[in-house]
Amino acid sequence: MTNMIPPKKICCIGAGYVGGPTMAMIAAKCPDIRVDVVDLNEERIAAWNSDELPVYEPGLYDVVKEARGRNLFFSTDTEAAIVDADIIFVSVGTPTKTYGRGAGRAADLCYIEGAARMIAKVAKGPKIIVEKSTIPVRTAEAMRTILTANSSEGQFQVLSNPEFLAEGTAVEDLQCPDRILIGGERTPEGDAAVETLVNIYSQWIPRERILTTNLWSSELSKLVANAFLAQRISSINSISALCETTGADVDEVARAIGMDSRIGPKFLKSSVGFGGSCFQKDILNLVYLCEHFGLPQVASYWESVIQMNDWQKERFSGKIVNTLFNTVRNKRIAVWGFAFKKDTNDTRESAAIYVCRDLLLEGANIALYDPRVSQETIIADLKYVGVSQEMIDAQLTICDSCEDAALEAHGVAVLTEWDEFKEADYSRVLDGMHKPAFIFDGRNLLNHDTLRKIGFEVYAIGKG
């Protein structure tokens, strides 16, 4: 394996929210290494090669522009990219299975397996394979088995290098991560492969922030980090319900407990519920693992984090219906924001999908505005959770601004914390709405005192 240091070529299979930005950062920081990012999806690759990137991330375009065409290339030619790469990152999706054994819980590894089979078919000589996708513990072993069983000319070292970037802050997170985690086999060859990857990251990240572990610790750490983060949100959301019934203020409670240095202030923002491609998927994965290994108590402990999140979303749509005099049938409700958090166009598992579905099923007319999410994505997401085309045609309007959405509405629901919502023209919003004019702030984003002063009825999460 020693002839692979230093690597000259890297390739990444999968140009999604993780693969694209991560490879762009590596290419920008390591101008001597050629980085090829490949994907089956031609439209996605065309977008990576254009001025309109498929992933909206503040600052990402500048990073891509710096390296694209110099040492960063996006293409659909997977085989050509694999054949002469020293390091192959695998960053394909691992959604929750929707069929068969483990449906609704286990991760679907069909894309991982597809990538491994492709590598085995094409690769010649020594290669380091790096798992970037979040995957269940022991997937590296499965990958190694597929690779060695299907390749006569390749020699493989499989590493786990989970990505901890959060969407919306991907560039910052990649530029200055809390830590980089690299897991490898504890053999001389495994150690050499780990060191090769360490050398790449140490081009811009202090060595002491690069942790190396065995493969399984690395794989499990990613699931556990996401489970702990999600658990904090479910914990504060559970308290939000108590605050509402007792007259406490959840933001004040979060501030008070967060100043305890043992608890810390981050990830204590109560909301309509967490979304994103990772939290739910990874917890379900953890639950599945625990059940598989005969630990039902541990499984149900973690499952409750998801149950609390589901309840928070239902509670929010229920609150809207109850407040609007127990019926939203034929009433217009403005929905502000559809992305799962601000500064991303990603909607995977967004709370907005479920709140909109519930309101549509109650007969509401939804007027929706999101500054970054496309109409196609919104419609596809709603259909995926069971909303019919007829309902979409009859009850959903996509608007060009939050003020337009609020026109003739009985209520406004803030579901994503986009900064521009703070700057809306609230006098105009109020004038255009039916009275009483309700605002349901699912992100505790707005200045509620001011809104009440100008005449709104405000419901906020966790405010008694």
Least distance (Å) between residue 318 CB and ligand ADP: 31
Using CB under 6 A, which of 1, 4, 13, 299 touches ligand ADP? 13
The pair of three-digit structure tokens given for residue 118, joined into one six-digit string = 């492709």
110 is catalytic: no
Least distance (Å) between residue 279 CB and ligand UDX: 6
Using CB under 6 A, which of 12, 26, 82, 92 touches ligand ADP? 92
The partner in contact with residue 275, picked from ligand UDX, ligand ADP, none with C-beta cut-offs of 5 to 8 angstroms by kind, is: ligand UDX
The partner in contact with residue 13, picked from ligand ADP, ligand UDX, none with C-beta cut-offs of 5 to 8 angstroms by kind, is: ligand ADP
Please report whether residue 345 would count as binding ligand ADP according to CB under 6 A: no
The partner in contact with residue 167, picked from ligand UDX, ligand ADP, none with C-beta cut-offs of 5 to 8 angstroms by kind, is: ligand UDX
398 phi/psi in degrees, rounded to 5: -100, 130
Helical segments of 51-187, H only: 60-67, 78-83, 110-122, 139-150, 170-175
Query: Per-residue x/- marks for ligand ADP, 30-49, CB under 6 A?
Result: --------xxxx--x-----
Least distance (Å) between residue 345 CB and ligand ADP: 11
Residue 314 to residue 355: CA distance in whole angstroms: 7
**Which of 117, 121, 166 lies closest to 142 in space, CA to CA?**
117
**Which of 176, 224, 173, 199 lies closest to 33 in space, CA to CA?**
199
Using CB under 6 A, which of 33, 71, 122, 133 touches ligand ADP? 133
**Which of 32, 25, 41 lies closest to 89 in space, CA to CA?**
25
The partner in contact with residue 233, picked from ligand ADP, ligand UDX, none with C-beta cut-offs of 5 to 8 angstroms by kind, is: ligand UDX
Give Cβ neighbours of residue 373 (< 8 Å, ≥ 6 apart).
Answer: 338, 339, 345, 347
Reduced to 3 states (helix: H, G, I; strand: E, B; else coil), residue 97 is coil
CA within 13 Å, CB half, 312: 31
The pair of three-digit structure tokens given for residue 403, joined into one six-digit string = 């003020």
Residue 223 to residue 284: CA distance in whole angstroms: 10
From 278, 290, 356, 402, active-site residue? 278
Please report whether residue 341 would count as binding ligand ADP according to CB under 6 A: no
List residues binding ligand UDX (CB under 6 A).
163-167, 226, 229, 233, 267-269, 271, 274-276, 278-279, 340-341
H/E stretch holding 382 reads helix 375-384
Least distance (Å) between residue 58 CB and ligand UDX: 13
Using CB under 6 A, which of 1, 7, 12, 17 touches ligand ADP? 17
Using CB under 6 A, which of 27, 115, 333, 451 touches ligand ADP? 115
Least distance (Å) between residue 45 CB and ligand ADP: 9
Considering only residues 251 through 280, tell me which ones interact with ligand ADP, judged by CB under 6 A.
277
What Rg, from alpha-carbon coordinates, does the chain have?
Answer: 24
Least distance (Å) between residue 341 CB and ligand UDX: 4
Helical segments of 138-278, H only: 139-150, 170-175, 188-201, 215-246, 250-258
Residue 165 to residue 308: CA distance in whole angstroms: 24
Please report whether residue 114 would count as binding ligand ADP according to CB under 6 A: yes
H/E stretch holding 261 reads none
Please report whether residue 15 would count as binding ligand ADP according to CB under 6 A: yes
Considering only residues 137 through 166, tell me which ones interact with ligand ADP, judged by CB under 6 A.
none
Positions marked catalytic: 278
Q: Which residues bind ligand ADP (CB under 6 A)?
A: 13-19, 38-41, 44, 78, 91-93, 111, 114-115, 118, 133, 277
